């Protein structure tokens, strides 16, 4: 990776020349791939199709079109941004059960502090933390901490700043989970899964038209009850998601609702010895807390989407989401570990009656028109968000020493129902109105100029304690530009470049919080995209991001302290590949090099960003072997021909800092997965028996840190899942 100049920026600075040179290098590689594909005679088998607008969102593993990052239904190759998609077929083949598992297929993403496994949290290009509003449902923000379930059709990732289209965000990018919606073609499926950890899952999906009406329905259910793989704990989750669509001549209305209740272990992981920088020499399944450590939550998500077509060129979309999350939790928090004595000091903490809610409404007008012979694809819209967090009762127990991780005795520390007045009554509210206008101007058949601006009108307030002490009270208006240029060298090959800015008011649930100034960022990006023989999409991107006032959390004497680093910089290269490489062969693969570090701060200057590996890579390859068994009958049971499919993949995550001051690192790791599926028909019903082997070689690894050597997550060991699936 070339080193960027530290001289003041100018339109012809060394930084920009290097990015331009990288684009030419990417371009030459992409053109070569396209030429090879054109002469290879590769054909494309359609593995699965998810509808979107006037085209197909995905075909098998390959992403084709999206509204994410463009504001309207647009071909992936026509957007000046790096957009990756984990399709329904990938989710099914890999038997994905969490957002972390889905995102292992995408470049530049790693797990960050998941708060004891209770929340979805990822870093993107070095930026991100839990509850950072980077995870969307159907393009809108929610307060949900666990979004992924069987109700998700696919996962989309938009790299880089997205404030113009999605309001207050940081420059690392956004993740969008697309929900399953009613279809007028009737079909259904039922999955029964058993896991080697103990327990299993029952998942059902049913959709179709309501006879005699313009209505279609969908009902998705997801029930999970599995044992935790460590020495105690249990997972349980119940999700029910009904939805209904009415379709008129020019208008479509969809209403949806998702109820979720779950209870999961609150597991702070293991401890790294400060003397050696290595994990304690204890079995990886040993917990250092108590059986009382758990997180129990109930969430509701209600949505309304209205699409109206004025004519072939102009459309209006209105979307509204209401999300609500309530939870109680108990944790045994590690406070200090003395390596000389081998004893751990712990504390019983908890939260009661937490109540989060969000109202999000979005109105978009999209249309195409010509001026002076040039085509415009216009997007104009407004988004309103009102997000509230309320944690009224915070429990803080006394410190208790004497716990020996090498010879643990459990049951001597229980949660004390004593409310900490200074920490309780924590309230945050953020309201933001985003006005945006974007035009995609087709200068020629090859050149597309994308330019726009948004105005963020925000008001943020936060306080805690009784009486309440205000620590955030800001409002204002920020204008944020976006400029991008796409050059179509061929219908299946494009080069792009972009410049964008981001803005995000800071907040934190840390124990010690001072007034945090808003984050501000700007990003330059160049890349190349190619559809190879119409079956494989390849995207390469180089980026350079500067960001100021980044929130940094440190654990000091058992207290989480939030502050901001002066300036940070992230730059790197990403490569994403998804689709079909040969008949009956599909692949999804990624590579990322990310150099993210603090560039200006009195304490942290020169330090690498927490949980950000320099290098990540992944590849998952599947093959359909064709028929391996003939049709047969056994009494009244008729079996169709049997088809075999198999897949194997590996992912690599490089070493990364375990805390803000880089006093220790999480070691690099490689984990492999595999699956084998047998597809047939039983009495005319498509039926699949599938075996998934996760962490095939039973590697011990550490996916993330909570910002301290006392809070290091432990990755899951070998797990076998057997799934029986029937469809109709």
Condensed to tens digits (0 to 9), the pLDDT of residues 300-331 reads 999 999 999 999 999 999 999 999 999 999 99
- pLDDT for residue 562: 58
Burial letters 77-115, b for 16+ CB under 10 A, else e: bbbbbbbbbbbbbbbbbbbbbbbbbbbbbbbbbbbbbbb
Q: Which helix (H) or strand (E) holds 16?
A: helix 14-40
The string of DSSP codes covering 351-399 is: EEEEEEEEEEEEEEEEEEEEETTEEEEEEEEEEEEEEEEEE-EEEEPPP
pLDDT (0 to 100) of residue 234: 97
Residue 407 is classified by DSSP as: S
pLDDT for the residue numbered 417:
75
Closest to 610 (Cα-Cα) out of 199, 129, 244, 214: 129
DSSP annotation of 668 reads P
Report d(CA 133, CA 551) in Å as an integer: 14
Task: Please give the Cα distance from 400 to 334 (Å, whole number).
Answer: 10
The pLDDT value given to residue 110: 96
**pLDDT for position 33:** 35
Q: Beta strands 83-86 and 135-137: pairing type?
A: unpaired
Instruction: Report CA Rg, the chain.
Output: 25
Amino acid 129: pLDDT: 87
d(CA 238, CA 415): 26
Give pLDDT, residue 171.
87
Low-confidence residues in the chain, pLDDT < 70: 1-56, 507-516, 534, 551-565
Contact 162, 139 (CB under 8 A): no
List, as one string, the DSSP characters of 487-541. Answer: EEEETTEEEEEEEEEEEE------SEE---PPEEEEEEEEEEEEEETTTEEEEEE
To the nearest 10°, report the CA torsion of 649, 654, 655, 656. -100
For residues 584-600, one letter each, b for 16 or more C-beta atoms within 10 angstroms of the residue's C-beta and e for the rest, the string is eebbbbbbbbbbbbbbe
pLDDT at 561: 59
Contact 200, 235 (CB under 8 A): no
* Domains contained in the chain, CATH given: 14-727 (2.40.170.20)
Measured distance CA(349)–CA(692) in Å, rounded: 37
Backbone angles phi, psi at 7, to 5 degrees: -70, 160
- pLDDT single digits (tens) 229-263: 999 999 999 999 999 999 999 999 999 999 999 99
């Amino acid at each position: 990776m070339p080193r960027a100049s530290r001289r003041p920026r100018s339109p012809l600075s060394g930084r920009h020349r290097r990015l331009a040179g990288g684009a030419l290098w990417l371009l030459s590689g992409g053109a070569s791939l396209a030429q090879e594909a054109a002469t290879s005679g590769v054909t494309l088998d359609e593995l699965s199709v998810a509808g979107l607008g006037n085209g197909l969102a995905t075909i098998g593993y390959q992403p084709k079109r999206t509204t994410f990052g463009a504001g309207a239904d647009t071909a992936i190759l026509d957007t000046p941004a790096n957009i990756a998609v984990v399709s329904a077929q990938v989710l099914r083949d890999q038997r994905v059960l969490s957002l972390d598992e889905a995102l292992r297929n995408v470049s530049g993403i790693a797990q960050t502090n998941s708060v004891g496994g209770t929340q979805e949290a990822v870093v993107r290009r070095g930026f991100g933390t839990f509850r950072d509003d980077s995870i969307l449902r159907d393009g809108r923000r929610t307060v949900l901490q666990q979004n992924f379930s069987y109700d998700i059709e696919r996962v989309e990732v938009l790299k880089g700043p997205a404030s113009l289209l999605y309001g207050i965000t940081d420059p690392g990018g956004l993740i969008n989970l697309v929900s399953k919606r009613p279809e007028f073609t009737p079909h259904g499926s039922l999955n029964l899964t058993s896991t080697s950890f103990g327990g299993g899952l029952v998942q059902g999906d049913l959709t179709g038209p309501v006879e005699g009406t313009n209505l279609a329905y969908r009902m998705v259910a997801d029930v999970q009850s599995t044992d935790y793989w460590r020495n105690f704990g249990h997972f349980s989750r119940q999700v029910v998601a009904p939805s209904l669509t009415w379709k008129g001549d020019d208008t479509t209305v969809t209403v949806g609702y998702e109820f979720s209740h779950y209870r999961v272990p609150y597991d702070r992981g293991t401890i790294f010895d400060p003397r050696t920088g290595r994990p304690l020499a204890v079995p990886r399944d040993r917990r250092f807390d108590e059986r009382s450590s758990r997180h129990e939550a109930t969430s509701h998500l209600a949505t309304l989407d209205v699409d109206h077509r004025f004519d072939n060129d102009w459309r209006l979309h209105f979307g509204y989401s209401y999300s609500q999350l309530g939870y109680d939790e108990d944790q045994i928090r590690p406070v200090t570990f003395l390596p000389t004595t081998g004893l751990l000091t712990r504390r019983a903490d908890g939260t009661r009656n937490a109540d989060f809610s969000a109202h999000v409404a979005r109105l978009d007008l999209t249309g195409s028109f010509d001026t002076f012979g040039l085509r415009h694809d216009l997007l104009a819209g407004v988004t309103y968000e009102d997000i509230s967090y309320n944690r009224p009762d915070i429990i803080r127990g006394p410190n208790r020493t004497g716990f020996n991780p090498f010879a643990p005795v459990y049951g001597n520390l229980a949660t004390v129902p004593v409310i900490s007045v200074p920490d309780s009554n924590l309230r945050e509210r953020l309201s933001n109105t985003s006005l945006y206008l974007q035009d995609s101007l087709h200068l020629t058949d090859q050149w597309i100029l994308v330019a726009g601006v948004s105005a963020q009108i925000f008001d943020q307030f936060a306080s805690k304690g009784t009486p309440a002490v205000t620590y955030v009270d800001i409002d204002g208006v920020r204008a944020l530009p976006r400029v991008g240029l796409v050059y179509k060298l061929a219908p299946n090959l494009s080069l792009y470049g972009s410049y964008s800015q981001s803005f995000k008011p800071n907040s934190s649930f840390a124990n010690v919080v001072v007034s945090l100034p808003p984050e501000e960022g700007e990003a330059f990006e160049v890349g190349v995209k190619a559809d190879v023989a119409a079956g494989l999409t390849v995207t390469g991107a180089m980026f350079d991001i500067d960001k100021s006032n980044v929130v940094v959390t440190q654990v000091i004497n058992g207290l989480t302290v939030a502050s901001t680093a002066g300036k940070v910089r992230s730059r790197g290269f990403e490569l994403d590949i998804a689709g079909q490489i040969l008949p009956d062969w599909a692949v999804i693969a990624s590579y990322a090099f990310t150099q993210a570090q603090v560039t200006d701060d009195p304490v942290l200057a020169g330090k690498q960003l927490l949980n950000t590996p320099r290098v990540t890579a992944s590849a998952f390859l599947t093959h359909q072997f064709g028929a391996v068994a003939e049709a047969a009958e056994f009494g009244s049971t008729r079996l169709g021909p049997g088809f075999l499919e198999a897949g194997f993949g590996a992912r690599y995550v490089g070493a990364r800092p375990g805390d803000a001051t880089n006093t220790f690192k999480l070691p690099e790791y490689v984990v492999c997965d595999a699956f084998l599926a047998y597809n047939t028909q039983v009495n005319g019903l498509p039926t699949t028996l599938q075996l998934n082997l996760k962490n095939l070689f039973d590697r011990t690894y550490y996916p993330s840190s909570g910002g301290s050597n006392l809070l290091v997550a432990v990755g899951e060991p070998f797990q076998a899942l057997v799934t029986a699936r029937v469809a109709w």
